Structure 1
Amino acid sequence: MWSTRARQPATNIATILRRLPRTTTRPTVVPWRRCYANNSQRGSEQSRSSHWLRTSLGLAGTGAAAFLAYTYATTDKAETPSDSKVKDLSQVTDPLGSEYVQHKRSLKSPGVYVWGANSHRVADPGSKEKTIKTPRRLSYFDGQVLRDLKLSDKSGAAIAENGDLIQWGKGYSESDYKPTKTLTGKNLTSLCMSSDRILALSSDGNVYSLPIARDDQCGGRKPNEKSWVPFWSGTANVSYRALQPSLKLGEKFTSIKGGLEHALLLTNYGRVFSVASSTESYPSFGQLGVPGLTWATRPKGPVDMCHEIQALKGIKITQIAAGDYHSAVLSKDGSLFTFGDNSFGQLGMEFDSSIPYCDAPTPVPIRSLYKGNIWFPKVTGIAAGGANSFFTVDAQRIVGPGENPSAVRDLDRITADTWTCGRGIWGALGTGKWTHMQDAPTKVRSLSGLFEYEERSKGLTPIRLRDISVGTTHVSAIMNNNTHVDTKPSSSLDDTKDVGFDVLWWGGNEHFQLGTGKRSNQSKPTYIHAPAEGGKEDANSEEARLQIMPRHKGKAGSRTVSMEQRVECGRHISAIYSTV
């Protein structure tokens, strides 16, 4: 999880070629008080120390001064925390710089921060506020690490560390909005939410479908369950269905993604299945990837039966993504396929008003995005949400027609780019433009072509996206820029050397879901401030830029747990949570 590159300050992740552009609405950020990767700060400290020694010792011999300097340098190294030791910042009594407040809180107690739409009591079940303007800690999850978290404007759902499903909000209960355990004992690992149902994946590859509303869970058919006690069985506490696709021997589901009416399921064999996931409406925009499949033509059997996407047979799929009404899949060789609704160009293909959707997986021509035949592009990651699609590309510089290989200075260099398509009227494309429809993939320049200097290799390395979460109208991206001075990986956090990953936000902000504290939309990636400790602002304190903590060891109750933070963008709501 940790990079072995030399530490560079988070505010200078593109120090060599370019910086992430700052919008005019970006909050004021106090520069980090940190040094570059060449140890300039340590060098200055040793220089001052040596000067003090020379002044203090005065008439002492040159040999004594050298001996003391050597002893000082050796002691400094000996005090460096080992890889297995965690620096417990919760016990530090000296004032910490604003950039270390998150470290202290993350180590002291993990939790969930939510902000955005709250009319259905999802962001803060105990508050009657219609919107939560800045990140607010959800007290129920204090000291807890989660496996997964999904949010909509009407309900929230999370998977606890032990694999139990937790739900809250008015979408779950009109009378009791607080988080409540529902589906238990299944060892769940991930989930997705449609308009009215939850699909949850267990560690053994089973997929369970249950209604979001508590009344439907209590009033629906409850299946019989086997017990660990021999010859003993009972009835489930809630109504649910176990999806039963036709899988091969040793095959199981490993990933699940969903939209408002459908879900995609990926197996460890690289096969993709699609399923209708809503009780109220059947997928009608081709997002299932089965040509001609509609409510009228569906085969006999359960409405939520799983359909293997035959057009992808023989292609090993490694990633899946789903927007509200469209789907995307990524193959092992870096090819991208999209299908479903294309009303806003979210499939990355030209919009045709006579055929506003595509019901079969269609390849997106990635090579046509790079002109001159001097690049070899390969898609490395995909994400989708609402009516938007994003994909990251590693473009390798190759010898073009008529070029002399010896004259190409950047031959084989890889440039990491981020591309997008779909609806941009709220700025969700991140391109700086307010575009109603973008049917040709366009580059997010703020997140593309970024490099940093790597101390070990003495050269440039591309800065890629670590993760991207796409909500209905807004997006968040985590940069993979975390580095440190040490030359070997570490699983611990250090209060003087390590900071988190840069995280940026853009798109719709009508419900304050960007966390800027303002309602104005953002068409370019921007930073937000870290929430104040205890929820109270200090007028005299420095404003820390919000960052995402990398994998580290921290306290979850009385236990020490390996955890990291993730970002979730939902329907007009956002969250940051600690996960195992």
Structure 2
Amino acid sequence: MYRTRCLSRPAIRLSQAPSCTRNITSKARPRIRAVAAHPYAQRRQQHFVRSIVTVSALWGTASAWQWYHGERLFREVHAEEPPPKEQELTFEQPRRAAHGAEDNRNIISSQHLQVVKSWENPGVYAWGSNAGGVVAPDSDETFIKTPRRISFFDGKLLRDIKLDKNFGAAIDEKGNLLQWGKDYAKDTKAPTETLHGKNLISLAISRDRIIALSASGAVYSIPVSKEEQLSGPKPTSTSWIPFWGSSETISYRIRTPESLGWNERITDIASGLEHALLLSSTGRVYSFASGAQDFPSKGQLGIPGLTFETRPPGPFDIPHEITTLKGFPISRIAAGDYHSLVCDAAGRCFSFGDNSAGQLGFEFNADALHIDAPSLLPTQKLYAGTGLQASVKGVYAGGNTSFITMEANLPKTGPSHPGRVTADTWAFGYGLAGQLGTGRWIHTQSTPVKVPSFSGLFEWDEIANHAVPIRLAYISVGASHAAAVMDNVASVAVAGNARRLTENDTNWGRDILFWGNNEFYQIGSGKRSNVATPTYIQPLDIDAETDRSASAQGLVKQKLEKESHRFQITPKQKVKLKGRSVGFEQRVECGRGITAVYSGA
């Protein structure tokens, strides 16, 4: 339909419409065609058609360009976002049926399985430096990164064990001394019995000698080297048969103090690199040189003015009583590399020896790097302003680091305030490798600082029906790392126990945590980074743990190692072992670059 201009000529009528946009009547059509046939009108019509075609072409081109690039842009934007796929639902695999109550306990509790395995398979797990062939005598590996059993001790109980990077010493269940490692003999591949028939009960090691204590209180100083044992002077053994005696097979010295009173005997020993401490049953303390290489020269003997030149006549390693401690019945002793700690029954702590890193608990003094007389540590200042009455319960030392455990009592003030006991652990000394356990890396810590992981802890005792403080059973301090066994409530119920057990009642042990230097993988985590905050490690028998979890829940070892339960150490309990009833427990021992957990009788 064409649109026309309004014409004023009378020949054209628009049905009386005032606007030219109305439809033209049929009578005017010839005139319209006549007008359209005019040349000027024809040109305008052609121009109009060309305009319509051009606009249509441009619109089509623009639409095509927008569609192409829009789709391409859309594809580029969403190239990394494919449509989500439907995820299949995974269901936990059904737990296998338990074959009896004991099997059910093994399935539902890792701690229960650990306790049972420690009873069924006693022995020694060790890890750390293997440069001296101590951790794995039959292996040439430099490091043992995670706990590994020493096959020689499988199924055996030990009374004690002490480990150095280059030699190891242990006392078997019969009280005989066993030795191994390159410092003992370069060609040794397994522990060898050296001193027998002495009924030994505990050990301490210096740089080059072993200090052993017998059940009767006799003290023996034995050289580490097999060559020295065979070539050195051998004492004459005694016999209950008159005039019957023979020479011992190895060289050693008896270092039992001669000034012991009637019915007094040595009950505990401790040793640093050059010195040893002896504790008697009456609370007296003796010290002597425990190394053949160097005479103690940093005051660690606790005898003011005692040097190699001023020592009394006789052998250089004669025991001397620390007379400064008379009147203070000592209950605990501990020795670091070059320093000593003791505490008495009244809760007082004394320290002496090297203080170059603040390991005595006193401020560092460049003009006096050591203290040669026992000095009272002002522990009550640690609780100043709290109203608590505190006392020292235990002392522990190793390397250049010291620990004391304390109990602070809140006095009873009435029925509504019955009082409460808080157990705390304090550390001081060298801590650059994290061996203080406080979460900090520090060269010198001369003032005792609280270890948060072992301080102010409580748990609910269901038998006593009230909250009790969580104390430390003990701390084993090595040259630069340590482990603490917590005295938390444990359950070691066995078959035949008087208490009736259900199939869901399980055993669990005591918590054990490790911290400090990890240069030789002695922490046991499988990693080499030092640890400044006490941490748990995986169960010792990870293969047994894998089998349990795989059969119970279908888990693989890699997932288990990420999510496994922590290692818990088994407290003492009497169980059946190879047809006999015997009481034993798991114990931890931190040495010089080595850690061991053994079944202790």
Is it true that 1:461 corresponds to 2:482 in the alignment?
Answer: no
Shift of 1:174: 1.0
Relative distance call for 1:124 and 1:250 in structure 2 (3 A) is same
**Contact 1:147–1:163 (CA under 8 A) maintained in structure 2:** yes
CA RMSD of superposed structures (Å): 2.4
Q: What letter is aligned with 1:476?
A: A
Contact kept, 8 Å, 2:491 with 2:509, in 1: the verdict is no
**1:84 maps to which residue?**
none
Letter in structure 1 aligned against 2:314? G
- Aligned residue number for residue 304 of structure 2: 291
- TM-score, normalization by structure 2: 0.77
Q: Contact 2:517–2:531 (CA<8 Å) still a contact in 1? A: yes
In the alignment, which residue of structure 1 is the partner of 2:446?
439
| 1:374 aligned partner | 387
User: 1:275, 1:172 → 2: CA distance?
Assistant: 23
The equivalent of 1:560 in structure 2 is 581
State yes or no: 1:250 paired with 2:263: yes
Map 1:127-276 → 2, pairs under 5 A = 127-245=139-257, 246-276=259-289
The partner residue of 1:277 within 290, 294, 299 is 290
CA distance in 2, matches of 1:219, 1:155: 19
- The residue aligned with 1:502 is 511
Report the CA distance shift for 1:463/1:342 in structure 2 as closer, same or farther (over 3 A).
same
Task: Report the equivalent of 1:544.
Answer: 565
- Aligned residue type for 1:499: W
Aligned to 1:65: none
CA contact (8 A) 1:200 1:207 kept: yes
Report the secondary structure of 1:509's partner residue.
Answer: coil
Equivalents in 2 of 1:514, 1:93: separation in Å?
Answer: 29
1:111 aligned partner: 123
Report if aligned partners of 1:468, 1:477 keep a CA contact under 8 Å in 2: yes
Based on CA coordinates, which of the two structures has the bigger radius of gyration?
Answer: 2
Assess, with a 3 A threshold, how the Cα gap between structure 1 residues 125 and 96 changes in structure 2: closer, same or farther: farther
Contact map agreement 1:121 1:127 (CA 8 A) in 2:
yes
Where structure 2 has 5 or more consecutive residues not aligned to the other structure, the ranges are 1-99, 547-556
SS of the counterpart of 1:105? helix
Given candidates 350, 363, 366, the residue that maps to 2:376 is 363
Which of 132, 143, 146 is the aligned partner of 1:120?
132
2:479 — aligned with what? 472
The verdict on how the C-alpha distance between 1:93 and 1:434 changes in structure 2, with shifts beyond 3 A counting, is closer
Q: CA deviation at 1:114?
A: 0.4
Q: 1:440 to 1:249 in 2, by over 3 A?
A: same
CA distance in structure 1 between the aligned counterparts of 2:498 and 2:201, rounded to whole angstroms: 23
- Cross-structure match for 1:393: 406
Structure 1 residue 459 displacement after superposition? 2.7
Q: Cα distance, 1:176 vs. partner? A: 1.3
Q: Decide whether aligned partners of structure 1 residues 291 and 481 sit closer, same or farther in structure 2, where only a CA change above 3 A counts.
A: same
For the residues of structure 2 that align with 1:191 and 1:172, how far apart are their CA atoms?
Answer: 16
Q: Which one has more relative contact order, counting CA pairs under 8 Å at least 6 apart?
A: 1
Moved more, 371-380 or 565-574: 371-380
Shift of 1:104: 2.5
**1:18 matched to which residue of 2?**
none
Residues 109 and 554 in structure 1, CA contact (< 8 A), matched pair in contact too = no
**Normalization by structure 1: what TM-score?**
0.80
Secondary structure of the residue aligned to 1:372 is coil
Number of aligned residues: 485
CA distance in 1 between counterparts of 2:508 and 2:311 reads: 52
Write the deviation string for residues 509-559 of structure 1: whole angstroms up to 9, x where unpaired. Answer: 010000000001110011000123558963464623111001123454443
Following superposition, the deviation at residue 410 of structure 1 comes to 4.9
Amino acid corresponding to residue 171 of structure 1 in structure 2 = D
Provide the C-alpha distance between the structure 1 equivalents of 2:369 and 2:521, rounded to a whole number of angstroms.
Answer: 32
Matched, 1:306 2:313: no
Name the counterpart of 2:55. none
Percent of matched pairs sharing the same residue = 48
Aligned to 2:19: none
Structure 1: gaps (5+ residues):
1-86, 400-404
8 Å contact from structure 1 (residues 327, 340) kept in 2: yes
> 2-side partners of 1:540 and 1:557: how far apart?
35
- Judge conservation of contact 2:427–2:451 (CA < 8 Å) in 1: yes
In structure 2, the CA distance between the partners of 1:164 and 1:493, relative to structure 1 (3 Å rule), is farther
Would you say the 8 A contact 1:144–1:557 is kept in 2? no
Q: Is the 8 A contact 1:469 1:567 kept in 2?
A: yes
Contact 1:491/1:552 (CA < 8 Å) preserved in 2? no
Distance 2:101 2:281 in 1: 39
- Counterpart of 2:466, as a letter, is G
Cα deviation for residue 359 of structure 1 reads: 0.3
Kindly provide the amino acid, as one letter, of the partner of residue 213 in structure 1.
S
* Residue deviations 1:6-62 (CA, integer Å, cap 9, x gap): xxxxxxxxxxxxxxxxxxxxxxxxxxxxxxxxxxxxxxxxxxxxxxxxxxxxxxxxx
SS at match of 2:385: helix
- Evaluate the alpha carbon distance shift between residue 481 and residue 168 of structure 1 in structure 2; reply closer, same or farther with a 3 A threshold: same
Distance 1:285 1:325 in 2: 7
The corresponding residue for 1:82 is: none
**Cα distance, 1:548–1:484 mapped onto 2, change above 3 Å:** closer
CA contact 2:112–2:506 (8 Å) conserved in 1: no
